[in-house]
Amino acid sequence: MSAEHLLTTAEVALRLRVKPETVYAYVSRGLLARVRVPGERISRFRLVDVERLAARTQATRPERDAAPAMRTNTTLIAYGRLHYRGLDAAQLAPVTSFEEIAHWLWTGERRPGTFTAPVETLERARLASSHLPAQARLFDRLPVIVAVAAAMDPLRFDLAPTTVTALAPALLSTMVDALPLSGAAPADERLATRLWARLTEAPPSPAGLRALNATLVLLADHDLAASTIAVRVAASTRANPYAAVLAGLGALDGPMHGAIGSGVHRMIGVARREGASAAIAEWLRTGDLPGFGHSRYPQGDPRAAALLDLVADLPTEDDLWRAVDGLTATAARRGAPPNIDLAIAVLAHATGMGPGAAEVIFSVARTAGWIAHVNEEYTQPNNRFRWNSGYTGPPPARP
């Protein structure tokens, strides 16, 4: 065998991107064979053997040591609290309109205002989403609505921050106003009031609208959640803002993310009918207990506490709070305090909203944060999220 087909230990380590000690470990485990060369005291290794080992081990290791950093000046979770540009979200929620918070996330300016959408965009979005089958969820309409809004916007490929920020209010308005009405058409122009009429037949009350607006505020952003990462990866390819939002909606639809709310709503329904113990037993038998515990808030989700305080002001049936108290007491024994998903489900039960309401509220609210992240990502190098695959199949034949 000629020398050029043999590698030194240092060369093998470089090729496999490991330390020399790891090369020796491979030898001791029988994964790599030494080759003795007459007249040399050092070990050599066959190139073909090294390539075969690389196909088995190196393919599972990313080309880069760590993921590219996602920097944000929008949201921070610190000291057990959620902050939007340095302001405590739970303190803002009861007293600040969602529209003002959205502007704060986008621009760093607190500016209240009314969000509206072009009439033709709304009409076309309503028509397109109306063709979905009867069994479609209310959430299923949102990707259709966003896609229509994109097609109607000739400036969607203008990625300048001012243009993206300018389109955001109309996008949020379209997402809400293109949904079918469940109750009477609202006279109030606030987005929370308009969304209320799409989620429940119950007439709105000041306390109910305050709670729904607070929910939108509390869900507007949450650092780098899975759906936000999806949005930023899409934006890194310079997908237009609507396409990035669609990426976020796709990730949000996962049962371990935005879609978890419908399960929490049903769990509370079982607890109201059969008792908290029966509900918890059923959910633990099929998995974990949704609506309780959060890795970012080991001492308790401040968003849940803020929203539950507001829901407590609503007129509700006694069995709802008995069920919630029973669920909370049992979960507390597992060290899992209520999270925002439970609070939204309680709000939905108290206001006559169905199990799908949480997903829609989540989607509308989080779109505000996604727009802020889209603008941040557009300032970064494009296509920066690229790794080697974790290939674990058979090695290819050498040419």
Residues 204 and 56 in one domain: no
Residues 37 and 133 in one domain: no
Taking residues 333-352, report their average pLDDT. 95
Residues 12 and 135 in one domain: no
The token pair that represents 353 in the structure block: 């909203």
Mean of pLDDT over the chain: 90
Whether residue 178 lies inside any domain: the answer is yes
Whether residue 166 lies inside any domain: the answer is yes
Whether residue 134 lies inside any domain: the answer is yes
Report whether 205 contacts 185 (CB < 8 A): no
Report whether 271 contacts 323 (CB < 8 A): yes
Whether residue 30 lies inside any domain: the answer is yes
Q: Is the pLDDT of residue 92 over 90?
A: yes
Q: Is the pLDDT of residue 288 over 50?
A: yes
For residue 223, what are the domain limits? 89-378
Residue percentage of the chain with pLDDT more than 90: 66
Residues 201 and 324 in one domain: yes
11-50 residues labelled b (16+ CB within 10 A) or e (exposed): ebbebbebeeeebeebbeeeebeeeeeeeeeebbbbbebb
Residues 300-309: pLDDT tens digits?
Answer: 999 999 999 9
Residues 207-219: pLDDT tens digits?
Answer: 999 999 999 999 9
Q: What is the CATH number of the domain that holds 51?
A: 1.10.1660.10
Residues 166 and 223 in one domain: yes
Residues 56 and 93 in one domain: no
Taking residues 282-291, report their average pLDDT. 83
pLDDT for the residue 156: 96
DSSP string of 198-234? Answer: HH-SSPP-HHHHHHHHHHHHHHS--SS-HHHHHHHHH
pLDDT for the residue 60: 46
Residues 145 and 35 in one domain: no
147-180 residues labelled b (16+ CB within 10 A) or e (exposed): bbbbebbeebeebeeebbbebbbbbbbbbbbbbe
pLDDT for the residue 281: 87
Residues 46 and 97 in one domain: no
Q: Is the pLDDT of residue 59 over 70?
A: no
Whether residue 305 lies inside any domain: the answer is yes
Min mean pLDDT across 17-21, 141-145, 365-369, 371-375 is at: 17-21
pLDDT for the residue 30: 86
pLDDT for the residue 20: 85
Look at strands 81-84 and 75-78 and give their pairing: antiparallel
Q: CA dist 246 to 70, 242, 262, 320, Å?
A: 20, 6, 20, 35
Taking residues 6-25, report their average pLDDT. 83
Whether residue 292 lies inside any domain: the answer is yes
User: How far is residue 178's CA from residue 125's CA, in Å, rounded to a whole number?
Assistant: 6
Give pTM, 2 decimals: 0.82
Q: What is the CATH number of the domain that holds 156?
A: 1.10.580.10
Best CA proximity match to 284, nearest among 263, 298, 306, 269: 263
Give the domain-ending residue among 60, 80, 105.
60
The token pair that represents 191 in the structure block: 């987005």
Residues 257-280: pLDDT tens digits?
Answer: 888 999 999 999 999 998 888 898
pLDDT for the residue 310: 98
Give the three-state DSSP class for 321.
helix
In eight-state DSSP terms, residue 53 is H
User: How far is residue 252's CA from residue 261's CA, in Å, rounded to a whole number?
Assistant: 11
Residue 57 — pLDDT band, cuts 50, 70, 90? low
Residues 55 and 105 in one domain: no
Residues 95 and 47 in one domain: no
pLDDT for the residue 63: 44
Q: How wide is the angle at C-alpha 186 spanned by C-alphas 184 and 192, nearest 5°?
A: 120
Domain count, the chain: 2
Residues 358-391: pLDDT tens digits?
Answer: 999 999 999 999 999 999 999 998 988 877 666 6
Residue 2 — pLDDT band, cuts 50, 70, 90? very low
Q: Is the pLDDT of residue 185 over 90?
A: no
Residues 96 and 46 in one domain: no
pLDDT for the residue 366: 98
Q: Is the pLDDT of residue 3 over 50?
A: no
Q: Is the pLDDT of residue 65 over 80?
A: no
Residues 179 and 246 in one domain: yes
Q: Which residues, at least 6 apart from 67, have a Cβ–Cβ distance to it below 8 Å?
A: 385, 387
Report whether 22 contacts 61 (CB < 8 A): no
Whether residue 67 lies inside any domain: the answer is no
Give the domain-ending residue among 19, 44, 60.
60
pLDDT for the residue 214: 98
Whether residue 289 lies inside any domain: the answer is yes
Taking residues 315-322, report their average pLDDT. 92
